[in-house]
């Protein structure tokens, strides 16, 4: 009787193992949907920051080297109510600074995420203020999407904001993998060209890599002659430290 009971237990255990293995085999055929993308393109909480090392390469060499201006960074320092076109919007204050000195630049930029992407809301400094709501980066974006962006800059000599140009932005990829010193990121890639002026012999060709829910994680930067001059310099922004909550 004891032997028969033992055999029954063995048969039951073997049957359970078989059923478990069979179920696992069936589950492996199921398609698991990836998680939905984040609602916001950039994490705009106070205290978030992004720090980049800058490398450059000249057309005479295949070697990358540290640029003269070796690093760049920006951070979110505040969330403030901003009145744009009669509407009050809570805007994130983006402050650029040098990582080694921690010293901020003169002007800060106001940005916020909306349903169709990241918006530029204006700029503030001790000497000047500019308010203007415009779509900066479309998100979600599909390959081939194109839109115009008024390019606003800050004149360090006159201490005021300027509209030197309107740029054309294009989404060239919505699913590019970018490897950085702090990890790999799935990115939307935005491309635009920026002229340096009528008397300058080159244009800037810029590819920005944005990881949804994080923000800017890399930039590839080319300079190309506008009068049939060959490309003579490239730059890379490599994310090496960040916080994005």
> Greater confidence, 227 or 128?
128
Which pLDDT score, from 0 to 100, does residue 163 have? 81
Torsions phi, psi of 150, nearest 5? -65, 120
Q: Residue 241: name the closest of 152, 180, 177, 151 by CA.
A: 180
CA distance 165 to 188: 24
Confidence of residue 126 (pLDDT cuts 50, 70, 90): very high
Which pLDDT score, from 0 to 100, does residue 84 have? 86
Block residue for tokens 């080159």: 202
Instruction: Go through the chain and tell me how many residues it has.
Output: 245
Which pLDDT score, from 0 to 100, does residue 181 have? 95
Which pLDDT score, from 0 to 100, does residue 16 have? 35
- In the chain, where the domains are located: 1-30, 49-243
The model's pLDDT over 67-109, given as tens digits with 9 standing for 90+, comes to 667 899 999 999 999 998 889 999 999 999 999 899 999 999 9
Using the predicted structure, report yes or no on whether residue 11 has a pLDDT greater than 60: no
Mean pLDDT of 2-25: 40
Mean pLDDT of 131-141: 96
Confidence of residue 12 (pLDDT cuts 50, 70, 90): very low
Mean pLDDT of 165-170: 93
CA distance 164 to 123: 15
> Greater confidence, 67 or 124?
124
1: helix, strand or coil: coil
Q: Residue 167: name the closest of 128, 124, 120 by CA.
A: 120
When mean pLDDT is compared across 31-35, 95-99, 101-105, 148-152, the lowest value belongs to: 31-35
Region label for 56, one of left (φ > 0), alpha (ψ between -120 and 50) or beta (otherwise):
beta
Supply 1's token pair.
């009787």
Q: Residue 138: name the closest of 75, 189, 102 by CA.
A: 189
Using the predicted structure, report yes or no on whether residue 165 has a pLDDT greater than 60: yes
Using the predicted structure, report yes or no on whether residue 44 has a pLDDT greater than 80: yes
Mean pLDDT of 219-232: 67
Class level of CATH domain 49-243: mainly beta
> Greater confidence, 143 or 16?
143
Using the predicted structure, report yes or no on whether residue 216 has a pLDDT greater than 60: yes
DSSP per-residue string spanning 156-218: TTTTEEEEEEEEEEEEEEEEEEEEETTEEEEEEEEEEEEE--TT-SEEEEEEEEEETTBEEEE
């Amino acid at each position: 009787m004891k032997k028969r009971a033992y055999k029954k237990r063995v048969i039951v255990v073997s049957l359970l193992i078989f059923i478990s293995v069979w179920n696992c085999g069936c589950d492996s055929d199921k398609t698991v949907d990836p998680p939905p993308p984040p609602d916001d393109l950039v994490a705009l909480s106070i205290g978030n920051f992004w720090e980049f090392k800058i490398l450059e390469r000249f057309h005479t060499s295949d070697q990358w080297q540290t640029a003269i201006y070796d690093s760049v960074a920006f951070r979110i320092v505040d969330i403030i109510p901003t009145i744009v076109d009669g509407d009050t919007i809570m805007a994130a204050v983006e402050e650029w600074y040098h990582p080694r000195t921690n010293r901020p630049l003169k002007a800060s930029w106001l940005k916020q995420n909306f349903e169709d992407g990241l918006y530029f809301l204006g700029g503030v400094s001790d000497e000047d203020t500019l308010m203007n709501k415009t779509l900066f980066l479309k998100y979600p974006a599909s390959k081939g999407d194109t839109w115009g962006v008024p390019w606003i800059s800050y004149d360090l000599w006159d201490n005021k904001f300027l509209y030197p140009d309107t740029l054309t932005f294009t989404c060239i990829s919505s699913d590019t993998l970018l490897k950085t010193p702090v990890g790999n990121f799935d990115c939307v890639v935005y491309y635009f060209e920026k002229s340096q002026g009528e008397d300058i012999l080159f244009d800037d060709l810029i590819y920005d890599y944005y990881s949804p829910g994080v923000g800017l994680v890399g930039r590839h930067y080319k300079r190309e002659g506008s009068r049939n001059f060959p490309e003579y310099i490239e730059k890379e922004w490599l994310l090496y430290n960040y916080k994005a909550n």
